[in-house]
Amino acid sequence: MEPVIKIRSLRKLYHLGETEVVALNGVDVDVHQNDYMAIMGPSGSGKSTLMNIIGCLDVPTSGTYHLAGEPVDEMDDNELAHIRTRQIGFIFQSFTLLPRTTILRNVELPLVYSGISREERAERAAKALEMVGLRDRMLHQPNELSGGQRQRVAIARALVNNPSILLADEPTGNLDSRTGQEIMALFEDLYEQGQTLLVVTHEDDIANHARRSVRLRDGLIESDTAIPQPALARPR
C-alpha cells in the first residue's frame, strides 16, 4: 500500500545572515497508514524542521514529500493551507487554544477555515469532544480547564477534520507525568482506532508508547527502529 508520508532526499537549508545552516541533510522516510511513530533527537538535530515540513508549515529546500499521494513540495501557500485543514491535525506543547473563546468554538476552528456550515461544525466538534471525554465542558472557556483537559481539547481540535495524520509536538511537555500518561493513553486509543500518529519528543518515556522510533542527528536519520509491543505493557 502507498505510504501516507513518502519523503525522499529531503534537505532544508536556513540562511542566518552570511552563514548557511543545514537543518535536514537528505532524509528518506515512509510513514504508513496507522503507523505510530516517535521522532526523537537532541535539539538542533532537525526534528522540529522535519515536523514543520511534514506538517506543511514549511517547505523543503530540495527533495520530495508526498502526503497521501500529493506532492506537497510543489505546493504554494494556499494549497499548503488547504492540505493542513484536510490532512493534518496539530497538537502543540502549549495547547495554543484561543483565550476568551469557548471550547466548542476552539474545536470548530479548523472547520471554519474549511468552510463547513455552522450546524455541521457544531455537530462534528461535539463529536470530537466526546472522543476526548470533554463534551460536557464544551461551553467552558480554556482558562476554566486544567492543563490535561486543555490538551485534550487541543486533541479534539486536531481530530475534528478527520486528518490523515496526527502530529504532536512534545504533547506532554507542559503536563505533569500523571496527566502526561493520560494523554498518551488517549493516543493509544486513537492508534487502536486506526489513526496515524507522529509524536515529536525528547523523552524516552513518551517515545516508548509508539511502535516505531526515528532518531535524528545533525539533519540525518540516525536510527529507525521498531518498538516491540506489548513488550512495554500498557497499564490498563
Partner 1 sequence: MSLAQRVSEWTEAFRIALEQLRSHKVRSLLTALGVIIGIVAVTLMGTAIKGIDKGFTNSLDMLGQDIMYIEKWPWKDVGDEWYKYRNRKDIDLDGSTQINDWINRNPDSLLRLAVPSKGYGANIIRGDRSAPGIYINGTSADFTLMNTADLLYGRFFTHSEDISRQNVAIIGYDVAETLFPEGKEQAVGEDIRIRGLKFHVVGVLERQGSFLGLQSFDKQVIMPLSALLKITRWDRGNSIRVQVREGADSTLAMDELTGLYRRIRGLLPEEENDFEINRSAALEEQLGPVKSGLALAGFFVTGLALFVGAIGIMNITFVSVKERTREIGTRRAIGARRQAILLQFLIEAVSICLLGGVIGLGIAYGMKAVVSHAFPSFPFTFSTDLVILACLLSILTGVLSGLAPAWQAARLDPANALRHE
Site of interaction with partner 1 (CB under 8 A): 48, 52, 55, 57-58, 77-78, 81-82, 84-86, 90, 92, 94, 96, 98, 100-101, 109-110, 112-117, 157, 161
Q: Where are the beta strands (DSSP E) in the chain?
A: 5-16, 19-31, 36-40, 62-67, 70-71, 88-91, 165-169, 196-200, 212-217, 220-226
Nearer to partner 1, 9 or 14 (CB): 14
Shortest distance, position 25 Cβ to partner 1, whole Å: 19
Nearer to partner 1, 88 or 181 (CB): 88
How far is Cα 231 from Cα 89, in angstroms, rounded to an integer? 29
Q: Which of 150, 32, 167, 162 is nearest to 85 (CA)?
A: 162
Q: Are 61 and 49 in contact (CB under 8 A)?
A: no
Nearer to partner 1, 81 or 122 (CB): 81
Shortest distance, position 179 Cβ to partner 1, whole Å: 21
Residue given cell 525522499 in the structure block: 8
For CA atoms 140, 86, 95, 230, give the dihedral sign: positive
Shortest distance, position 83 Cβ to partner 1, whole Å: 8
Nearer to partner 1, 148 or 163 (CB): 163
Shortest distance, position 235 Cβ to partner 1, whole Å: 32
